[in-house]
Amino acid sequence: MTTTKTFPRTTPSALDIDARGVLAFVDALESTAGVEPHSLMLLRHGQVVAQGWWQPYAADRVHLLYSLSKSFTAAAVGIAVREGLIDLDATALSYFPELDAEITDERSRRIRVRHLLAMASGHREEALDRARAADPTNTVRGFLLTPPDEEPGSVFAYNQPCTYTLASIVRRVSGGPLVEYLRPRLLDPLGIDDLAWRRDETGAELGFSGCYAPTSAIAALGQLYLQRGVWDGERILDEDWVAAATRTQVENPGEENPDWSQGYGFQFWMARHGFRGDGAYGQFCVVLPEQDVVLAITGQSLDMQAVLDAAWQHLLPAVDRPSDTGADSALEARLASLGLPAVRGGSLQGLVDVGPLAHDDAGWRLTLDVDGGTLSVPVGEGEWLVEGPLAASGALAADGRTVLVDVRFVETPHLAHVRIDRQTGTATTVWETEPLHDGPLTLRRPAD
């Protein structure tokens, strides 16, 4: 098994991957309804064989990972297990002794760390709202006060408080924030320079979501698990941890999509091929041990199964298939020219300022009052203009009355459609995809 600290670049054909299959995968991502890619990195034997970012997304930008954050939280637990700070067979409650007297339900008292990791707390369904209702200021307490429906370990239910509690346990045993614990133990060794985490009102990292990291960090995490916990000759995760995390701990045949019903490990999904971490709207860390391949993807995709279908249809058969340098060159050129389409329509030239859209010597600028603050971004015509964590593109609608402006929050999956009535100056905003825990002013990398 190859071990690596950084990712050298090579060509698909050099590592027995047919570049035409990668091209077909890119075609599928761009043409499938419900799929919008923002980035991809494809690794084999610890080397990058293909990578690309759809402008205005870029390699040096972080991207909100949503539930792919869970796999980073689990890595922190695995490191703490290796350091003897966490026992998988200890109860969750044992790490919060101040709650011992009031957690009286026997099933709650029997939830172990390994049950939290496997989404097998015994609850039959998501318990986040119930936990927050039980205690709006202490999610762990609210969770433990929400009695499981079944014996812990016996049923699967994707359950955010499980991962929130894991993050809280890591903070409890380490004495500091999750990112602070991960920095010297995981992030620095893997060369992950930029990773930030959304915190809740108590200052605690969400754990189950809210992690912002570049695509290369997703690839590095996958490569670490592919290398069974070893990186650059240094063991970061125990091999038995990796083995347990990446095999079925609890069956989940009731899940609707085929790649979501193959079993669940420790904050990893088993799949028809290999295993993966994933997050809402198409954030993926796909690991294929048999092929020695890692695939990292970000996007704004509502049909996440379609992304995996495309990988199995096009990418997987391309592994260990003859290629040629001509196909390599065609793929490289394609990946260098990726971009999301700008807003199409008539020119804005000659228009007067209207509502929140104003023109000066620098061009058009959209300024919106939202959530008690101001959102301001330059608007490109036929292109995306980027400023900070925002990018915007605009055009005149065919009716001649409406100005169309799309705003991308380029550190996240999300896009907002702004429509301005030229006669009234009224602006309406509709999300392409609804943010799950942020608003327009907080859809960006959190401050450290």
**Both tokens of residue 184?**
């010297």
**Both tokens of residue 351?**
């228009």
Q: Where do the DSSP E strands lie in 161-313? A: 196-197, 211-213, 230-231, 234-235, 269-270, 275-279, 283-288, 293-299
CB within 8 Å of 184: residues ≥ 6 apart: none
Strands, sheet with 363-370, edge to edge from the N-terminal-most edge strand: 357-360, 363-370, 373-379
Cα–Cα dist 150/423, whole Å: 60
* H/E segment holding residue 280: none
Low-confidence ranges of the chain (pLDDT < 50): 1-5
Burial class (CB in 10 A: 0-12, 13-18, 19+), 210: buried
- Of 11, 1, 2, 12, nearest to 321 (Cα)? 12
Report residue 386: phi and psi, to 5°: -110, 135
Confidence (pLDDT) at 323: 85
- Are 59 and 75 in contact by the 8 Å Cβ rule? The answer is no
- Are 194 and 52 in contact by the 8 Å Cβ rule? The answer is no
Confidence (pLDDT) at 6: 64
Global pTM exceeds 0.85 = yes
Helix (H, G, I), strand (E, B) or coil at 315: helix
Q: Where do the DSSP E strands lie in 211-320? A: 211-213, 230-231, 234-235, 269-270, 275-279, 283-288, 293-299
**Which domains are delineated in the chain?**
13-335 (3.40.710.10), 357-431 (no CATH)
CB within 8 Å of 386: residues ≥ 6 apart: 56, 410
- Are 11 and 315 in contact by the 8 Å Cβ rule? The answer is no
